[in-house]
Each structure stands twice: as structure tokens, then as C-alpha cells.
Structure 1
Amino acid sequence: MWKLLIADDEPRIRHGLCKALPWSDLGIDIVAEAENGREALELAGEVDADLMFVDINMPFMNGIELIEQLQVKYPRCLVIIISGHDEFAYAQQAVRLNVFDYLLKPVQKTELKMVIVKALEVLNKDRNDQKYTQWMHHKLEYSALTLREDFLHKWVTGKLTEEQFEEEKQFYQLHFHGKVSLLLIKPLSKNTMNVSSKVWEPSLLAFAMKNILSEMLPQLPMSAVFSADRNQIAALTPVSELTNMREIYQEFERSVMTYLGVNVLTFHCVAELLEDIPMHYEVLRAHLIRESALTPIIMMTKKYLETYYYKEDLSLSEVAEHMNVNATYLSKLLKRDLGKSFVDYLTDIRIQNAIQYLNDPTYKMYEIANKCGYQSQHYFSHAFKKMTGFSPLEYRKRGGF
């Protein structure tokens, strides 16, 4: 239904216009009436009027002033002047302001209907044109995103030469400068999960995960999320601080599990230059292949530890219960497949994460200890030095190993 607003200071005129035609049959809904120009301008925005009847002689703001304001604020609204004979000169002025038409009081029903029919033709044409423009914009936007994804996929998988990449990267708005984070994601099949879950069609699952990841990435115009090989998803984001990206990726994994009921394998790294991404992609892809070869229980145990390593009281029995297996059995599997005990593997993960936090000078030592699941800074320092040969403070002062 088109929305009609009637602005006239005479109640009799407003009432007569309301009763003049079978508005509903014409596809028009009278949404508001105003008795002065100022009120009409306010209501036009509130009701989102498509069509307005405007009297010239109104208090507070006359019809000419109202039309001038409408042109600026609501240019799509069609205005039809309702004018008295003695105001005809003003009506001519209004025509110069691009009003749709004007009618003289008293308004004749046949004349009113003719004007309304013409107005509806214009409104319907404008709406169809607008829909077509929106549809074309959507199609072009979708095509551009599809082409960009295809370009990025070919590039990271080595199907483009350096010359081809350099020629086309500007067109696809890959304006990366400095360090770039690469994330590679692979959803785990249902048989790797210890609970029942929804079975997703691969392309739909990829679409859902891309949406979640796109919302979590920093809102930068050059971030790119795209499909890689074999249901894998990749993401490129410029970074200045690795720790923040790690936290975003961890939150992404938890969100995918919470909202989609799917566990994912993720690997990420930071490239010094955008041109190094294909090389890093191959390394991460190899990690995914090796990880996928693990038994489902070990794969999910690793995933659980990598997600919840920050919990101080994380124990073998808790993880075994989550995996729905015996703790002794899980301990033997860890030793067989990873070559490490539960405690040693958990310590590895905690120290690896601690190293990333230590690279960020804004974190204090006690904060890093807490973030990595250690009850005290002293215990954290002892575990760190036992594994690396350096205390956390020595590592930070040296700027790495």
C-alpha cells in the first residue's frame, strides 16, 4: 500500500479528501493528517509518506516552504498541491519546485482520480526501477565477491603467476600493508564428535562459518574470507598485534561450536608480506593434513586442550569425561599418537600460548600466567624455564629465542 499524508488547515477539506475516493481499492492508505506545514514535515518522516496533498495557505509553515523542505529531506515523496483560486500564483511557484500536480479547490472527484492514477503510475515505475537497481547491485556485488574468492583461491594454491597476481590484486582491493594474518579452517566430520550434531551440507556450512568469521574479524576493508581446497576456509587480515588475532580465532571456534554444533581444525600464522601468503598456506595445509590423520579421539582431545588450556584445574579426568572415554585409555592414546603424556602436552600448549602473549609488551607477567592456566606467576616461570631454558622475563628481554 502507498502511504498518503494530507496537509490542510481546514478540517472540512481534510475530511472531504479522505472520503473522496475508495483509497484502499487504489492501493493507497491515508496514514496521517496535518493541520499546518510544520506538523506535516514532521509526520512525513515518521510515516515515510509516498504521496502528499499540500495546501498552500497553512500556519507556521506555508505550503511553499514545506515543499522546499520536502525536496531536501524526502525527495521521493510526490506532492500534489491543493490550492484556492486566489492562491493560483503561489501554485505556479510550487510547480517550479517540481511538485507533481496541483488541483484547485473545490476538488472535483473525477479530476482527483485522474491525478492519482498518474501519480500511481509514476510511483510504481519508480519502485520497479528501484527494485531493478537493487537487484542489479546485488548481482554485481555477488559476482564481484565470487570473482574475488576465485582469484584468492587460485593465488594461494599456486595457480597464478606472480605477474598475474600483481596485475589483478588492485582490482580485487587487496590493499594489504605490513604483516598479514592467515587463518586456515577445516570443519571436522561428524564421526569426530562425541555428541550428536546437525549434519550440514558442505556449501551451507561454509557459508555460515564465513559469516561468523567476517563478523568477528576487525572491521577493515581489506580483510578477506574465502573458500580454499576441500571445504577449507581461509581468512586474510592485516595485523599489528598477533595476540588479538589469536583471541579472535579462539572465539570463532567457540562460536562455531555453540551456534553451528560443529568442531573445526584451525591453524594460523603471520606473514611479513602479502606475497609470502601462498608459501605459508602450503605449510598450514600440510598441518591440517597431518592433523586430520589422527584418530578422532586424539583430534578432539587436542582441540579441547587448545581451547580450554587457560583453565587452572583442567585435568585428564575432565577431558576424558568430555570425550566419553576412560582416563587411563585416553592417557595411553596420547602417549601412543603424540608421544607425550597429558600433562606434558598441556604444558606445551600453555607455553606456546605464553610465548605469543610475551610478544605483546602490554601484558604483565601475572596476567600472562593467569591467561595460560597457571595459579601463580612463580609456577608459570618455573614451567616456562623448564621447557625453554629461559625464564619468561629473560625471553622478553632477549626479544625471543
Structure 2
Amino acid sequence: MYKVLLVDDEQFIRERLKGCLNWEELGFSIIGEAENGEKALHFICNNQVELAIVDINMPLMNGIELAGLLHKEQKELQIVFLTGYDKFEYAQRAVQLGVFDYLLKPVRSEDLTEMLHKFKEKKEKENLTSVVLDHKEMNSYIAYQLLNGPVTNMLNQAYQEVFSDVAREPSCFLLISSDVEVEENLQGQIAKFVLQYFPNSIYHLGLNHQLFSSFLIKADDIEKIKPLHFALKSHFQRSFSIGIGPRMDRLQMFGEAFQKAKFALHNRLTKGTGNMYQFLQEKDDSHSAILEKIEKFSVLVKSGNEDLSLKELEEIILLCQRNKISSAKFFVLTRELITSINKGVHDFQLKKDYFTELNQFERFTEQFRNLEEMKEFLSTLLIEAISISRQTLLELKSLSLQAIAFMESHYQDGEVGLHSIAEHLHTNPSYLSRIFKKETGITVIEYLTKIRMENARKLLMNGCKNIQFVSEMTGYNDPHYFSRCFKKYFKVPPSKII
């Protein structure tokens, strides 16, 4: 993933850039934001950033001043200017500062995507021409780029050259994992054994998280995997699980084929270790009984009942094991379990998402060699979630949080204000105002306005074009007054969001 920093003094612009396309799908990760050049410079000096998208007009230090400093110190960093003015002098200054590109506001997702593709092509060309790699390193580099997609013409050509033996014929992925943890030098011996076992060309693409080794083999060699499996067990005197991906006859299938090979290997969690598993597209038969138990589990988590939640979790995992469900179905059910735990915490209005990273199946399943390890992990996660929920319930007793909860559920009511909130909480308006400002840093009305504006923006960005409807849905009886408030808050009128 290429690491990106967004620099613009308007939060709305930064949010729009983040939400207008799927960055990760394109191979990019937004690792930070800054509202002016000074903060951006500090961030870049302390973090690895490969692409900075920078507004030209900002307070304290504008984009041109920032680019001038970075041009001298950060030779590898690429900068893209954002500007609301299509003026020749901006383009001329951008060239002088070595700026990669510049985009006109409002930025269209098509223009942003085109720029990112150009950036990737440039970086790939630099990496392939400026870095001298040995044969093994080149294999790993090309494979990594293909797995993170998209497949460009340059990558296609490099693949045909580096993987020439496999590239001429259909191929598939072979993932091999010891069912018990092994030391690093033994992993190397296992990989060497596999490479020597196959008479035809085979490529070792590396070790993933010390859990499985990845190989790329000719599809016609699949029948040799069974004797290889037996030979591995006999030679190393230990149990191995093997995942076999689908036949791959187009390079565009590279990333998908690898993911399916991992699905095949992950069958060992529910179907048992020590076996070979080939990815097969199964019919989606019903597993409603397990889903019903997950719904019950979700209610228990939300209620904060730790003992019953743990018992229900154990029964769900046992049911998966007895039914020997496929890894593809297990993936869906696992996500449901994690979502239930996550939601049990979110319903108490926590500001931080403690378990977001666990929603990635790859990061989650690759930690475990068997179902017992996974059950222990989920149990620990569940106990932590319930503990957080209980603590948050206590915190919700504070006056400010009760006021926030009331505003978030009643912001559509135009009559809601400081006095009505105070009346609901059975307290004095002046006292509520003072405590709220002390704890949050802003006034009750400012916070209410923030809630209304953010919800209005969501409606507009989701395609709602009726300003009167949006204003009424966010507590404003007068659409003209709403429009003035919106422009004051976001620095742009509602019509610019539609």
C-alpha cells in the first residue's frame, strides 16, 4: 500500500477525498490528515509518506511553501496540489517545485483515480529500473505487486519474464503449513524440500506470518501434491495442512486465486488439521441454526452477561465444528461473531472502534492453526468488550454524556435547545451549560449544531437533493436559514454537496 497524507484546512474537503473512492482497492492507504502546512511538515518528518495531496491556499503555511521545503528535504515524496483556480502560474510553480500533478476543486473521483494510477505506474517503473534485485527478490517483488493489484501492463510483462516457465501454462497456488509452530530455520528446510520434490519449475513466494509458505506451481502438477503431503509428514515427522487454489489461466486472477487458496487452507479450522483442501465453490446450503445462535449471542453481549455470552460462544464454535462447514461459510459466521461483539460495545456510544482491524478475515484467521486457538482469542476479546461496555455504562451517568445522548436522538426536533435538554435532565440550564463546556470544550448549542450539520451532510452526500426535506430532517424549519448555517459551518453551500 502506498501511504498518503491529506492536507487541507477544510475538514469537509478531506472527508470528501477519503469517501469518494475505495483507496485500499487501488493500493493506497490514507495514514494521516493535516489542516495546514506546518502540521503537515511535522507529520511528514515523523512518518513515512509517499504521496501528499496538498491544498495550495491554507493558513500558517500554504501548499507552495510546504512543497518548497519538501522539495529540498524529501526527494522521494510526491506532491499533488489541490486548487480552486485554473491559473497558469500555479501550474508553472508546481513544475518548478517538482510537484507530481495538480487537481482542480471540486475534485472529481475520475480525476483522482486517474492521478493515482499515474502515480502507481511511475513508482512501479522506478522500482523495476532503479533497484537491482536478485532472482529470488524479483520473484517476491512481482508477486507482491500482483497480489495488491491492479495488474498493469508493466507488471504483466515483468511476470512473463520472471515467471516464464509457469507463465506459459495455467498455474495455481499451493499453501503449506505445519500444524504446530516451527522455528524459522525449519521453515526454510520445509520450503527447500518442496522445491526439490517437484521436477518442473516451482516458485516459492515466501512465508506469511510464520504460518504458511506460498508456492506457485503448474496446474498440471496438482496430482503430485498428495504424494508430496505424505512425504512431508514422513520426512519431518509432523502434521501438515495444505491449501490448493483454483486453476489460474489469466494473470488478472492472481490476487483472487491466492485468496481462494487461503480459504482452502483455512478449512483446517473446522474440518480438521493434517489434510489437503482444494478450493471448491460450494452450494450455499442453510446454516440458519448457527445464525440464530449468533443472534442470541449478540443480545447476551449487549446485556453485559459475561458467563452466558461465553457459554453461547462455545456452543456456536462447537456447532461449526460438528457440521464441518467450509472456510467460506466459516468466514461469514466469524464476521457475524466479531460484529456482534463489536456492536455490543458500539451501542454504548464508544468514540473509539477497538476492534476494527479484526473485521479483516485475513488478519483474523491467519493467527490460528486450529479452532481451539481461535476460541480462546474470541473469548478474550469478548471479556474485554463486556468490560468496556460496563465501564462505559458508568460513564454515561455523567451529565454531559446524557445531554449528548439526548441530542443525538432528538436533533430532528426543531424545538430542542439548551433549556429543553436541561429540563429533560432535570437540571439548571446554566449549570448544564457550564459543565458541558468544561468537559467537551464547546457549548451545548455548538454540539447540537455539529450533530445536525453532520447528519445533513450525510443526507446530501447520499443523494438527497431536496434542501427543504434535509433541513426539516435535521431540525430546521426554514430551509433558507438552514442553508446559511450549513455554509457557515462547512464553508460551502448545500448545493455544492449535491
TM-score bucket of the superposed structures, by smaller chain: 0.3 to 0.5
Greater relative CO (CA pairs within 8 A, separation 6+): 1
- Scaled by the length of structure 1, the TM-score of the pair is 0.32
Structure ID, larger Rg:
1
